[in-house]
Structure 1
Amino acid sequence: MDAIGEQFGFHALHGVIQSVRSADRNAEPGFGAADEFWAEGRSASAYVIGVRIRRHIMTTPAHAGRMLFVNMPVADVERSRGFFGGLGFGFDPRFSDGSAACMPVGEQAFVMLLGREKFAEFAKLPVADARTHTLALYCFSVGSRAEVDTVVEAALGAGGTEADGPEDHGFMYARSFYDLDGHGWQVMWMDPSAMPTEDAAS
């Protein structure tokens, strides 16, 4: 075993982090950086340390300050703003303009409604039509069963279409709709304290 493998301490870890970062200065240690580190001919034990660092970082529970941005293409940004505004959502003007609308859906979670041309600037592959191909399915929670119905009925009244019937599991209630561009949304309410226990299930 070489020296770095024997000295699995702070200084060794620091050295590996610096080596990985020098291999890919545009990224934190991860799969890509670790692969480059290995390809450069470094020791196997150093590579293992790099992988251990990466795994530790990636498996750390999500912290409260982490932000999530979901980008989706829409045919008409202003039309989509009107549709989702009618459901009760607001928009952050700091990150909105004629080609994009930033819609907060949680304290640190946002949906970016991007015009199709703007979306295509970021996408590396052709942009699919959500009316004929499923891109993703989106789900957000509300505060009560009644609010599920209120939000979905507002969506249908604003031009959305119902995706399927209600799902009622007692502790969880949900309904789904397609928005004006064909994206599928589920609105759900759940009471975790009412979830069936293993004893009740058996």
Structure 2
Amino acid sequence: MTTSIFVNLPTTDLDRSKAFYEALGFRINPAFTDENAACVVLDENIYFMVLTREYLGTFTDKQIVDPKTQAQTSIAFTRDSRDEVDEVLAKGLAAGGTEPRDAQDYGFMYSRDLEDPDGNILGFLFMEPAAAEMGPEAYMAQQGAGQPGTA
């Protein structure tokens, strides 16, 4: 059985959100897109459903938080190199996103956060393949460095 992941994200401007995610290189599936929602295809098994706040409210009795002021989730995506992390951030910033904090460089992992125009947090990271395989502490010890997060 194949599992697909659908992440629901609130938006105050559906057209702006569609343009933002297309600028990052993702595509919109028109078969699941209307005036209330857009299906953003990240790959064959991962999708964002960008929903108007009102429409998202029909799926829950809980309060829909404002991602500009509150974090409900942070979604992270791997990239194949540090340069690819920087490239996707450049695209996102040019499309109206913001970078809420400086890049994080842990020696074994490089990451940058991007907020979409609604404030939803997207992380993009590159991890050294050896660190992913053996774990960050063992990788850093092999490199002769201190603990992860220290220089």
User: TM-score surpassing 0.5?
Assistant: yes
Quote the Cα distance in structure 2 between the aligned partners of 1:83 and 1:131. Answer: 16
Determine the structure 1 residue equivalent to 2:4: 67
Greater share of residues in strand: 2
Amino acid at match of 2:60: A
Determine the structure 2 residue equivalent to 1:4: none
Unaligned runs of 5+ in 1: 1-62
User: TM-score normalised to the size of structure 1?
Assistant: 0.63
Aligned pairs for 1:1-202 (under 5 A) are: 65-195=2-132, 196=136, 197=138, 200=142
Give 1:176 shift: 0.6
Q: Identity over aligned residues, as a percent?
A: 37
Quote the Cα distance in structure 1 between the aligned partners of 2:44 and 2:105. Answer: 27
Unaligned runs of 5+ in 2: none
Structure number with greater Rg is 1
Quote the Cα distance in structure 1 between the aligned partners of 2:41 and 2:108. Answer: 26
Greater share of residues in helix: 1
User: TM-score normalised to the size of structure 2?
Assistant: 0.82
Quote the Cα distance in structure 1 between the aligned partners of 2:78 and 2:27. Answer: 16
Measured on the aligned residues, the alpha-carbon RMSD in Å equals: 1.9
Quote the Cα distance in structure 2 between the aligned partners of 1:141 and 1:101. Answer: 23
How many residues of Structure 1 are paired with residues of Structure 2 in the alignment? 139
Secondary structure at the residue paired with 2:61?
Answer: coil
Amino acid at match of 1:91: I
